[in-house]
Amino acid sequence: MSDQLKSGLYAFDLVQKRAKRPAGAPDKQLARKVTKVGVVGAGLMAGQLALLFARRLDVPVVMTDLDQERLDKGVAYVHGEVDKLLGKGRVSQDKANRLKGLVTGSLTKDAFADADFVIEAVFEKMEIKQQVFAEVEAVVSPEAVLATNTSSLSVTEMASRLQHPERVVGFHFFNPVAVLPLLEIIRGEKTDDAALATAFATAKQLKKTAVLCKDAPAFVVNRLLTLFMGEVLAAVEEGTEPEVADRAVSPLGLPMSPLMLLQLVGPAVALHVSETLHEAFPERFAVSPQLAEVVKAGKTQIFAPDFSIDPEVKALLSGGTNPSEESAILDRALRALAREVRVMLDEGVVAEPADIDLCLITGAGWPFHTGGITPYLDRSGVSEAVNGRPFHEGALKAL
Ligand code: 3HC
């Protein structure tokens, strides 16, 4: 019974049991049927969502965007992904034809009139999202659920100008959508049980792991990943070689290094999330000036094709003359996580430490042998050192 095995058993229990009975979900009977889905936007995220909804719900999915070119590109992306599934033998020729028929594009939102679930995946700006929801509300029925895939904005505020704010829920996916099971479901101040139950029922049909989160800045995974990445970026800014800082957290066995994850998420999105968090918690979240420079320079790739760090990005990220040892960087990143998880639990962002771990395992691929993160923080003594107590009082030891 090593610590790793205990954590593995704990993690297995989370994904097999806790994931199936989400803490805080309302009565399933309240869920409304979803027979047609609208996706606002036809970008990369919107395309991934359209494909998932069509594939799992087997209902028509209509995407909208501002111009024909973007719309065509979005629909073509979905068709291309269907062909890839066909090529891998994941769907039959019949199913592939059917999926392509189910996903269509429209330049106007009138096409949403008979949709009962509309999700937006447009630019991360509050006014834009509010405007989009107002336009959708003008054409859909009063019961249609309006879902947002926002990565950090307030769901309550997004709903605040609508006639029916009770129908708005946060429905936050993780990249790559086809691979990562997590869906953070966010209840806004006015969200009613019927809308929330519909969101949970839809998540189940999508075969996703739904975790109920409070409407707090950046919810769970982005809050922790941003914090974690922030410590690595800070070490680089202080003078550590980017390669050294990126390697420092490798003992955790994460599926991707922090800088690789930054590239996957996109520097602009990562910067935006950090700005939201800084605004909410300035004493704990910084906005990296160097990351802002990378975004300003229009850089989207951190790594060159040979996996070396792009020299221009390296120059933009690097700064001071005070490099840190790898072990010190890992330590500061873990301490920051322990502190933040405790704050999140005290704020009631999720019900229990188990939900934080379930989110990190299913939303960011954190490994079973760390149990997500809280069992690792406990056994490495970090929880005790930072918070004066572990997250699991003897529960894992009892396994
Ligand atoms: N789209 C679709 N499928 C993909 C994919 C993509 N972009 N990338 C990988 N896959 C599939 C592969 O096809 C493969 O499927 P197969 O087994 O059916 O062939 C499977 O995923 C595994 O891929 P690989 O073997 O190539 O790669 P890895 O095992 O190294 O896994 C990874 C790749 C899943 C991306 C893994 O590295 C990972 O989980 N990384 C962490 C990602 C993460 O933390 N995401 C969260 C970011 S935060 C976010 O999205 C929120 C937003 O608001 C910012």
Model confidence pLDDT, tens digit, residues 100-112: 999 999 999 999 9
What's the 174 CA to ligand 1 centre distance in angstroms? 10
Predicted pLDDT at 398:
53
Q: Whose CA is nearest to atom 32 of ligand 1?
A: 255
What would the CATH number be for the domain defined by 24-214?
Answer: 3.40.50.720
Q: Whose CA is nearest to atom 10 of ligand 1?
A: 179
Inter-CA distances, 84 with 79, 158, 160, 173, Å: 9, 36, 41, 21
Which residues, judged by CB distance below 6 Å to any ligand atom, belong to the binding site of ligand 1?
151, 174-176, 178-180, 221-222, 225, 255-256, 261, 264-265, 269, 363-365
Which atom of ligand 1 is found nearest the CA of 81?
2
- Predicted confidence band of residue 399 (pLDDT cuts 50, 70, 90): low
Predicted pLDDT at 319:
85
Q: Whose CA is nearest to atom 12 of ligand 1?
A: 179
- Predicted confidence band of residue 397 (pLDDT cuts 50, 70, 90): low
Buried b (16+ CB within 10 A) or exposed e, 219-248: bbbbbbbbbbbbbbbbbbbbebebeebbbb
pTM exceeds cut of 0.75: yes
The pLDDT of 191-196, averaged and rounded, is: 98
CB 290 within 8 A of CB 317: yes
Model confidence pLDDT, tens digit, residues 91-139: 999 999 999 999 999 999 999 999 999 999 999 999 999 999 999 999 9
Residue 372 has pLDDT above 90, yes or no: yes
Annotated domain spans of the chain: 24-214, 221-328
Predicted pLDDT at 361:
98
Q: State the Cα torsion 356-357-360-366 to the nearest 10°.
A: 160
Runs of H (alpha helix) within the chain: 3-16, 44-57, 68-87, 93-102, 126-137, 155-159, 193-205, 221-238, 242-248, 258-265, 267-280, 289-296, 311-317, 326-347, 353-364, 374-379, 382-387
Q: State the Cα torsion 226-230-232-235 to the nearest 10°.
A: 180
**CB count, 10 Å around CB of 117?**
29
> Roughly how many angstroms between the first and final C-alpha of the chain, as a whole number?
8
Pocket test for ligand 1, best of 150, 155, 175, 179 (most atoms within 8 A of CB): 179
What's the 249 CA to ligand 1 centre distance in angstroms? 19
Which atom of ligand 1 is found nearest the CA of 364?
44
Mean pLDDT (the chain, rounded): 96
CB 362 within 8 A of CB 209: yes
**Per CATH, the architecture of 221-328 is what?**
Orthogonal Bundle (1.10)
Q: Whose CA is nearest to atom 2 of ligand 1?
A: 178
Closest C-alpha among 165, 193, 150 to residue 41? 150
What's the 178 CA to ligand 1 centre distance in angstroms? 8
Predicted pLDDT at 44:
86
What's the 334 CA to ligand 1 centre distance in angstroms? 24
Distance CA 152, CA 342 (A): 20
Model confidence pLDDT, tens digit, residues 250-291: 999 999 999 999 999 999 999 999 999 999 999 999 999 999
Per mean pLDDT, which range of 193-197, 245-249, 395-399 is the poorest?
A: 395-399
Closest C-alpha among 164, 198, 200, 205 to residue 185? 200
What's the 383 CA to ligand 1 centre distance in angstroms? 30
Buried b (16+ CB within 10 A) or exposed e, 23-47: eebbeeeebbebebbbbbbbbebbb
Name the percent of the chain lying above pLDDT 70. Answer: 99
What's the 176 CA to ligand 1 centre distance in angstroms? 5
Instruction: Answer whether 24-214 and 221-328 agree in fold.
Output: no
Which atom of ligand 1 is found nearest the CA of 152?
53
What's the 92 CA to ligand 1 centre distance in angstroms? 23
Which atom of ligand 1 is found nearest the CA of 270?
54
Predicted pLDDT at 393:
86
- Predicted confidence band of residue 314 (pLDDT cuts 50, 70, 90): very high
Predicted pLDDT at 394:
73
